[in-house]
Structure 1
């Protein structure tokens, strides 16, 4: 069997951490993360005789995630070169909502991605629209199914708190979270507070550093989800699943 070379591109550090943990728990594959000076992760990989797998945010070189038209076009050009040397590539992108750009909403974003694959004549590249390839949403819609039992009461409190803030009148809105996505912020707070922001007397450099932890997440909640089924069928079909 020829060696499988797979590169997976995701929007940000949250997705990177989630996929790293899925690989470890579901397929018993442990990736080595590349760590920046401030303890943040923008890529992780493993290279064996039988396969190589790399996870990376869209713009690994600039150490940034997120999505915009420029980043996606640049990524497609990069993938074109990877295909030429035998890589299979996969892009995981949030559906977001119709208000987002480029081409927000699951249906529009799916057509947008199909158009990019055709434009760059990519034959060995696939994509998945997060959360489930059908509905509008993002990573947070996936993570809500992974809250560990011990964290559910606190997460419920956070949900009520952020919902309350979102309903405030503009003049009453707190400046600390003005302009931020509170649904996304809720998960950052969950991680930050559940794990504790201090270790050994030193303040943690980034709340994303331990975005995934067995202690606060239960990835069994993703079993038979569209995301995991896609990974099993299209991406990691050559790996043995954990039994």
Structure 2
């Protein structure tokens, strides 16, 4: 049995945290899902604590972890920080877990917000060009959508595009774009320096669970 159990929304979070923890602490955690063993468990979406069906599965797991004295951590997207902070505070009191909300446990956002802030500085041009693309879209109207405006692609799409600009064109290289195959320890793509201002809150949150292990 692991000395810690992390619960996250999905594969992006799993791979990012697996790489971060390996980079910072030299600890390799396994990836799993509800019903499948692992130390970083995907609950398959942000509605885990709102879904009676999922809670039927999750509550016994949290209770057993508490009985065994295994530290339990939930790391979700903040989205609207004040709303999800209140929700997780309530659930954490009942299920006895610590929690962190991406990007920094203080503001609205998501894991993609954090990822955009920790790209390798040499690649900033990718997001500068993306900003120009978004500005261009917002400045035009269309009869093709109900709103009469183009929809700005989601931040998740932006991160996919960022990685796609950095990998090769073969099928095997394109596989590296997928969430489960990303290498956040690649210094040509990402800056995982724990002193990075955007990463300090996460490092300070994780330290008590890993720094002495």
Q: TM over 0.5: same fold?
A: yes
Q: Is the Cα–Cα contact under 8 Å of residues 7 and 42 in structure 2 kept in the other structure?
A: yes
* Equivalent residue number for residue 85 of structure 2: 110
* Equivalent residue number for residue 229 of structure 1: 204
Give the strand-richer structure, 1 or 2.
1
Instruction: Tell me how far apart the structure 1 counterparts of residues 189 and 37 of structure 2 sit (CA, whole Å).
Output: 22
Instruction: Tell me how far apart the structure 2 counterparts of residues 149 and 33 of structure 1 sit (CA, whole Å).
Output: 29
For 1:169-213, what per-residue CA distance to the aligned partner results, in whole angstroms no more than 9, with x for missing partners? 46356xxxx87852221001111231235255x863862221523
Query: Residues 122 and 109 (structure 1 numbering): CA distance in 2 closer, same or farther, change over 3 Å?
Result: same
1:186 aligns with 2:171: no
* Equivalent residue number for residue 79 of structure 1: 62
Mapping 1:139-218, distance limit 5 Å: 139-165=111-137, 168-169=140-141, 171-172=143-144, 182-199=154-171, 204=175, 207-208=178-179, 209-210=181-182, 212=184, 213-218=186-191
Deviates more, 1:150-159 or 1:218-227: 218-227
1:129 aligns with 2:108: no
1:66 aligns with 2:51: no
Q: 1:13 aligns with which of 6, 11, 14?
A: 11
| Count of residues in Structure 1 that have an aligned counterpart in Structure 2 | 198
SS of the aligned residue for 1:18 comes to helix
Q: Is the Cα–Cα contact under 8 Å of residues 155 and 190 in structure 1 kept in the other structure?
A: yes
Deviates more, 1:157-166 or 1:129-138: 157-166
Query: Residues 171 and 108 (structure 1 numbering): CA distance in 2 closer, same or farther, change over 3 Å?
Result: same
Query: Residues 106 and 30 (structure 1 numbering): CA distance in 2 closer, same or farther, change over 3 Å?
Result: same
For 1:110-151, what per-residue CA distance to the aligned partner results, in whole angstroms no more than 9, with x for missing partners? 111121123xx333x111122122211111221122111332
Instruction: Tell me how far apart the structure 1 counterparts of residues 178 and 8 of structure 2 sit (CA, whole Å).
Output: 18
Give the helix-richer structure, 1 or 2.
2
Q: TM-score, normalising length from structure 2?
A: 0.76
Q: Is the Cα–Cα contact under 8 Å of residues 130 and 139 in structure 1 kept in the other structure?
A: yes
Query: Residues 184 and 85 (structure 1 numbering): CA distance in 2 closer, same or farther, change over 3 Å?
Result: same
Task: Indicate the RMSD between aligned Cα atoms, in angstroms.
Answer: 3.1
Instruction: Flag structure 1 segments of 5+ consecutive residues without an equivalent.
Output: 35-42, 46-53, 59-64, 97-104
Instruction: Flag structure 2 segments of 5+ consecutive residues without an equivalent.
Output: none
